[in-house]
Amino acid sequence: MAKVSLAGGNTFCPQALYLYGTIKEDGRADYGLFCWCCYCFAGDAMKFVACIAEDNLTRDRIRATGMLSATVVTEDLLSRADFCGCTDGRTCDKESVIASDRGDVLPVPVPRDGMWTLELRVEDTLHPENQADSEIYICSIVNVRAEEVLTGDTPFDEKMAALKPVVTLGGKYYAVGTQSLGDWGIPMKLL
């Protein structure tokens, strides 16, 4: 098959989706939808890494409070998550769309219908290319607030069927599906 070279981009790179929850000055919740994020490992602990590269309320509130929640976007949450990604939190009360509780450990808003929510404290902020607008937050995962069905001895495929996470590619949303292709170390046995 012929290969072609393209400008830098991520069109066919699957990205996980999270709703970031922050607390507004008036104490109400704000939520934005985010996909420029990943995990890293440092100092004997897993960290969450998030990039916000535009002027929005979520960035203001992370700067002001140094904390946020990150909730895995599920098929059930998708309409509300899409709304939060396409609507400006400065002119819209998103708590009226997403029923909220407070985190179990940090005073961050968490979606009541979230199934897997990280409570995050920002430990470091990086500015790539010295751009003031673009910030990369390296966060410690202070708590994971999980739906009980995702814990315990239930087979992982059944937990995935309950979670139904959503990813994004090429400006669209896709279901992950629940068909496992094998545990780590198993597909290589087909070589």
Ligand X SMILES: Cc1cc2nc3c(=O)[nH]c(=O)nc-3n(C[C@H](O)[C@H](O)[C@H](O)COP(=O)(O)O)c2cc1C
According to the binding rule CB under 6 A, does residue 86 interact with ligand X? yes
Report d(CA 69, CA 86) in Å as an integer. Answer: 19
Report d(CA 19, CA 32) in Å as an integer. Answer: 6
Which x/- pattern, by CB under 6 A, does the window 156-175 give for ligand X?
Answer: ------------x-------
Rg (CA), the chain: 18
Distance of closest approach, residue 120 Cβ to ligand X, in angstroms: 14
Distance of closest approach, residue 181 Cβ to ligand X, in angstroms: 25
The piece of 40-48, 53-61, 123-131, 143-151 that touches ligand X (CB under 6 A) is: 53-61
CA dihedral 152, 154, 158, 160 (to 10 degrees): 20
According to the binding rule CB under 6 A, does residue 65 interact with ligand X? no
SS3 call for 29: strand
Token couple for 139: 């966060």
Q: Can you give the binding site for ligand X, defined by CB under 6 A?
A: 30, 32-36, 51-54, 56-58, 84-86, 88-89, 168
